[in-house]
A and B are shown apart, each in its own frame.
Chain A
Amino acid sequence: MSTTSPLEASTSALAATPDDLPVTVYSPESPLAHPIKLVKEIFGDMWRCRELTWILFTRDLKAQYRQSYFGYIWLFVPVISTTIVWMFLNSTKVIQVADTPIPYPAYVLLGSMIWGVFTSSLNQPLASFNEGRNVFMKLKVPPEAFILSGLSKVVFELLIKMLVLIPVFAALGMMPASTMWLFPVGMACTVLIGVSIGFLMIPLGSLYTDVSRLVVTALGFAMYLTPVVYPPPTSGWAATLVQYNPMTAVVMTTRDWLTIGHSDYMPAMLISTAIATVALFFGIVVFRVVLPNLIERMGM
């Protein structure tokens, strides 16, 4: 049925949109019709919401420990307990299995630290997006701020976890290599690769829970295809598989940078990182393009 509004009829003669106000147009058209405008808008939003990102980050941090007597001390408890466990394992020589270039406990500890930050930065974007649902479906706010704040949390927790390396290295009598300053760069690349996959996961992942279930399973497998707890095999089909796993290069290089100073895997890692950077850019744009479709399915 068609309706002509009296408002429209009475005012159409005068209708003139003022040019001094910014005009936003919503239409079924894909925002990709104006790609430059879209990219500007996305990154402009991300820049504008840096304060919001910070506020959300501190909100979650404060809220996490507010209802606790020891407060922020809890941030360090896992670090202390991990240290104690590794000291113990080292003194008892329980795990002297593999032939690694550095003491095995340090090898595993570093490997799982790198792998851990990879999986959490991979899962964080979707998790943050789902947590913010109630806000996104009601208010016009860049969800990227919520995701960035979640990632800040991942990085912050990583920084604290890294403290454990100091006593462990001392106890094992290890000296960090001269390339140790590259270790944070390696970690940053790990986070970047995780986030790029994480961003690409959001569109499908927020619609179907299959995605996050699948990812949990896949990451379980992937960990054993990556030299996290054992050195890369040198022969057999497993060796080929591990060799072609992009995460192998990332984990190996990052660990080697801190411990032995050189890594054969560095070129492969740089390629992975470059691909991830491009993928992240696309992931961010794709996310923004499909966002209204996702919000629509969150409910009223």
Chain B
Amino acid sequence: MSDNEVLIRCENVGKKFCRDLKSSLWYAVKDSARDLVGVNRDNSNPELRPYEFWANRDINFELRRGDCLGLVGRNGAGKTTLLKMLNGLIKPDTGSIEMSGRVAAMIALGAGFNPVLTARENVYINGSILGLSKKQTDDRFDEIIDFSNLHKFVDAPVRTFSSGMYVRLGFSIAAVMFKPDVLLLDEVIAVGDRDFRIKCMERVSQMLTTSAVIFVSHQSSLVARVCTQAVLMENGTPKFFGSPRDVISKYEDTSTELSTQFTTIETLDTPSCKLDAHELPFGGSLRLSIALDSKTHFSGLILRVHIVDSSGESIAEWDSRNHDYPIDISVGSNEFDVVLSDLRLSFGEYYISFSINDADEVRYLVTGAKCCRFSSLAKHYGVCKVQL
């Protein structure tokens, strides 16, 4: 097992999809007929037929053992299509893919589960679908149940399981069985509750070193942590290859779905807000200015400012009550400046959102989702920086 074995090689891979159902079915008939008479589809540069588009195009890369390539991109950018081609479920329309060794895909967790049957029975069914013999499942059975930590439910029908338990069991079967050369991961490694997610991550990390991995995720922090390289997919084509860090910042530049919509009560005008900077050095500070008009006078309000990470989780909060900072809104225009200082945020993209409540916290006067974006230029990943 040398380190520089190329396990995945994609050359000029392309795939056409069809937007129209009827045409798509008809093309399937035509393509099938062509496959059956053995006429090769024109490999070099096939034309698009009506309603077709390139779901994947010009994909070239090589991956070695120990490499982990993150596929980053918006919904519909062609990530899953590429994964399906690598898994051999669908055929490329151009180019070629070479996969070496045993390929495992953690894509559909719990495939083939029958809801009426017990967890025990389903472990064997799913194991068999994933390519394990009964003997191999026997050998791993305890390990699977230990991993899923569902000891008490081994003989319960899986339809009594919560969705979290269901995927836990599915993940455990997949995780325990694989010693793959190539591993395809589609956003499944974060399943279940937090403790289980950590366990999943550990297990996946173990597999990373011994296989070539393709990892699809929308969670930038995970991509940054797990992958050795990444590629930004846009409209089916690889827009940018590079380090996970560079790719993520490129990706987040393109995904600007900022919600600047605020919900305000009638007496207030929609506020505007801005930051004095959009790039934050580690330990730096930011000034958030909020301006709003009001038709009424309010006093003793509560202002809360949240820092939200790219997955939408609130990671820090500033509350005016804790700072003895009473918020009064007078008739006419108002302006607040909040300085958030000594922000030790790890590398990544963040948003600021804020809300204004009345003093009893009953009524929101202003609420808004992500309104300002900034990125931290810190050199570390993870939740915080640790001194060693």
Q: Which residues of A contact B (CB under 8 A)?
A: 1-8, 11-12, 14-18, 21-33, 51-52, 55-56, 59-60, 62-63, 66-67, 134-141, 203-204, 207-208, 286, 289-290, 292-297, 300
Contact = CB atoms under 8 A, between A and B. Distances in A.
Contacts of A16: 4-6
Given A6-B242, A63-B116, A294 B28 contact: yes
A137 B90 CA distance: 9
Contact of A28 (B43, B60, B86, B239): B43
A172 B239 CA distance: 79
A297 B28 contact: yes
B105 A289 contact: no
B4 A207 contact: no
Contacts of B43: 27-29
Interface stretch (B125-133, B201-209, B349-357): B125-133
B155 interface: no
A207 B95 contact: no
B319 interface: no
Nearest to B229: A7
B116 A67 contact: yes
Give the one of A30, A135, A208 with max B CB within 10 A: A30
B41 A28 contact: yes
Given A21-B101, A33-B38, A56-B112, 17 more contacts: A3-B60, A5-B61, A8-B60, A11-B62, A22-B100, A23-B99, A26-B98, A28-B93, A135-B111, A139-B87, A140-B103, A141-B130, A293-B28, A293-B31, A293-B32, A294-B32, A295-B89
Contacts of A25: 96-99
B62 A52 contact: no
Contact of B32 (A4, A67, A203): A203
B112 to A, nearest CB: 5
Interface of B: 2, 4-7, 9, 17, 24-25, 28-29, 31-32, 34-36, 38-41, 43, 58, 60-64, 67, 69, 80-81, 84-101, 103, 105, 107-108, 111-112, 114, 116-117, 121, 124-125, 128-131, 133-134, 157, 181, 229, 231, 237-242
Contact of A1 (B58, B60, B100): B58
Contacts of A139: 87, 89, 105, 107-108, 111, 129-130
A15 B100 CA distance: 13
Nearest to B15: A296
A28 B91 contact: yes
A63 B58 CA distance: 46
A140 B4 contact: no
Contacts of A51: 128, 133-134
B218 to A, nearest CB: 15
A6 B241 contact: yes
B129 A135 contact: yes
Nearest to B4: A14
Given A26-B96, A27-B97, A289-B36, A295 B129 contact: no
B68 to A, nearest CB: 12
A26 B99 contact: yes
B79 to A, nearest CB: 10
Q: Which 10 A-B pairs have the closest CB atoms?
A: A138-B108, A290-B32, A21-B101, A27-B96, A5-B241, A30-B35, A26-B97, A292-B91, A21-B100, A28-B41
B86 to A, nearest CB: 8
Nearest to A141: B129
B28 A207 contact: yes
Nearest to B134: A51
Given A17-B5, A63-B114, A140-B89, A5 B231 contact: yes
Given A11-B62, A17-B5, A26 B35 contact: no
Nearest to A137: B89
B38 A3 contact: no
Nearest to A28: B41
Contacts of A292: 88-91
Given A56-B125, A138-B111, A2 B58 contact: yes
A118 B103 CA distance: 39
A5 B89 contact: no
29 contacts: A1-B58, A5-B61, A6-B241, A14-B4, A16-B4, A16-B6, A17-B9, A25-B98, A25-B99, A26-B88, A26-B91, A26-B97, A28-B92, A32-B35, A51-B133, A62-B117, A63-B114, A66-B157, A135-B111, A138-B105, A139-B108, A207-B25, A289-B36, A292-B88, A292-B90, A293-B31, A297-B24, A297-B25, A297-B28
A240 B181 CA distance: 62
Contacts of A204: 29
